Structure 1
């Protein structure tokens, strides 16, 4: 007996989504962690790292929103 194929995402798609979320969270959290560690030792470098992290997070979010809206407007191949 064969089980009917699920219409949900495949394992590869699920893995890709989880990987994307992990990378975005790493891009946001890692610079903040480094900046806090450098805060008392080199405050100006710390501020630069925070600014760089904020710019990276903004860029990643903009690309994600752009890709999401582009995929919503394309007709699906059903």
Structure 2
């Protein structure tokens, strides 16, 4: 459940960061503080998304490790 919320929050932040940066270009002080915040949070969100994309691999079913006998599907001539 926590992984789902981390994934959602990271995805929304990454998607919204560029749009909000463009919309906040008029007040320069807000833009600078927002960009400094983004330089810290954006790499963390990217790291979370990369790590969370590999976490389902820790609980694979045993059938995922069975080798496929390709000669049954592709006949050799």
- Where on the TM-score scale, by shorter chain, does this alignment land: which range? 0.3 to 0.5
**Radius of gyration: which is bigger?**
2
TM-score by length of 2: 0.48
